[in-house]
Amino acid sequence: MTMTLEQVAQAMVAPGKGILAADESSGTIKKRFDSIKVDSTADSRRDYREMLFRSTDAMKNCISGVILYDETIRQKAKDGTPLTKLISDAGSLPGIKVDGGTKPLQFCKGEVVTEGLDGLPKRVSEYVELGAKFAKWRAVIDIGAGIPSYTCIHANAHALARYAAICVEGGLVPIVEPEVLMDGAHDIQRCAEVTEWVLKEVYQELYYARVPLEQTILKPNMVIAGKQSPKQASREQVAEETVKILKRCVPPAVPGIAFLSGGQSDQDATAHLHYMNAMGPLPWKLSFSYGRALQAAPLKAWSGKSENVAAGQRAFAHRAKMNGLAATGKWKQDLEKAA
Ligand code: 13P
């Protein structure tokens, strides 16, 4: 049975489920492995991701989809089973990162633009053949003295919209990811202003690119103070400010919003999502598409040792369960102790 793109988008934000972002580029996964003193090789990357995708209960109950990197979507488990099959056998959907990363933006000191539109229709059709159901493109907006510029916001929003149009036409649900970074010392209000500006521009560009919003998912940052800010907001305040800005900017035609974690602690990322859902009813599903906030604990528990696979899977199952509960507003701080 083939699913329509609207059905895929809805499945990605099914109640109590969210997305595992396991699409770290070779450079990023090396950094993660450095933190546990494991060499990053094709085999170690496979073993680590195989451990996650074989966490059967977590995958079946809490993970609607997995974002893969080009290497991983082509990789096989140790026993020869394609990794994409492990994911689909667990009832989850394989997805693929298709952007080519960020590059310095001309005439905009300190700002970047995401590349990768050239040849994208051809790559999309290859990924459809390889079993992908959705795609991701990440744009990066930094807050600092005199930035972001409109030049940067516009260039990134335009590229996101072109990418989304190419994906929908080619048969993949686009995850539209404009990430306002939480690096820096700005307060939550500054993050709110910039996030609102970015989202307004993204939805304008999606409209001009004729993208059917019903077939897309938004992956935004939360509205949160910069990591170095002396004025950190409470969890409830982050939830309130984030929902306020999303309501101003994201049309209800969008089936779901799946947040990135962006460097928040595991439990903060879960708690923020929970408090937002507890504020419902909301015009869209609010869920997660976490990388670090789902993987930090299992990565550490595993530490590259085959005898630790079960411990890594337990750590992953716990975080997946906590976030699944947060996606329906049913998380409680006490439940974290079960870990
Ligand atoms: P984090 O949740 O670690 O921010 O990663 C999500 C992601 O996919 C960033 O593009």
* pLDDT per residue as tens digits for the range 236-262: 999 999 999 999 999 999 999 999 999
Of the candidate CATH numbers 3.40.640.10, 3.40.50.300, 3.20.20.70, 3.30.230.10, the domain formed by 5-338 belongs to 3.20.20.70
Instruction: Say yes or no to pLDDT of 42 above 80.
Output: yes
Is residue 66 in contact with ligand 1, taking CB distance under 6 Å?
Answer: no
Return the pLDDT at 338. Answer: 72
What is the DSSP secondary structure assignment for residue 213, as one 8-state letter?
Answer: G
Which tens digits make up the pLDDT trace of 19-34? Answer: 999 999 999 999 999 9
Among 98, 160, 292, residue to substitute to test ligand 1 (most atoms within 8 Å of Cβ): 292
**Which residue in the block uniquely carries the two structure tokens 């990162």?**
97
Can you tell me the mean pLDDT for 69-86? 98
Residues with Cβ within 8 Å of residue 300, at least 6 apart in sequence: 36, 315
- Supply the pTM of this predicted model: 0.98
Stretch 202-222: mean pLDDT, rounded? 99
What's the rounded Cα separation, in Å, for the pair 125 and 310? Answer: 36
152 C-alpha to ligand 1 centroid (Å):
20
Distance 259 CA to ligand 1 centre (A): 8
Positions marked active-site: 177, 219
pLDDT of residue 332: 98
The reply to whether ligand 1 has any atom less than 6 angstroms from the CB of 18 is no
**CA-to-CA distance for 227 and 45, rounded, in angstroms?**
29
Task: Say if ligand 1 is within 6 A of residue 262 CB.
Answer: yes
Q: Are 144 and 110 in contact (CB under 8 A)?
A: yes
pLDDT at position 339 is: 64
Distance 260 CA to ligand 1 centre (A): 5
**Atom from ligand 1 closest to the CA of residue 295:** 3
Domain ranges, ordered by start, for the chain:
5-338
Query: What's the average model confidence in pLDDT over 55-84?
Result: 98
Confidence of residue 1 (pLDDT cuts 50, 70, 90): confident
Q: Which of 262, 242, 136 is nearest to 199 (CA)?
A: 242
Atom of ligand 1 nearest to the CA of 23: 8
Give the percent of the chain with pLDDT over 90.
Answer: 99
Q: Indicate if the pLDDT at residue 294 is higher than 80.
A: yes
Ligand 1 center to 252 CA (angstroms):
24
Mean pLDDT of 291-306: 98
Q: Is 290 in the pocket of ligand 1 (CB under 6 A)?
A: yes
Q: Mapping DSSP to helix (H, G, I), strand (E, B) and coil, where does residue 307 land?
A: helix
Ligand 1, atom 10, lies closest to the CA of 138
| pLDDT tens, residue by residue, 134-150 | 999 999 999 999 999 99
C-alpha distances in Å from residue 71, one per residue of 45, 52, 65, 118, 210? 10, 16, 17, 20, 31
Residue 21 alpha carbon to ligand 1 centre in Å: 6
Classify burial at 27, counting beta carbons within 10 Å of its beta carbon; exposed 0-12, middle 13-18, buried 19 or more. Answer: exposed
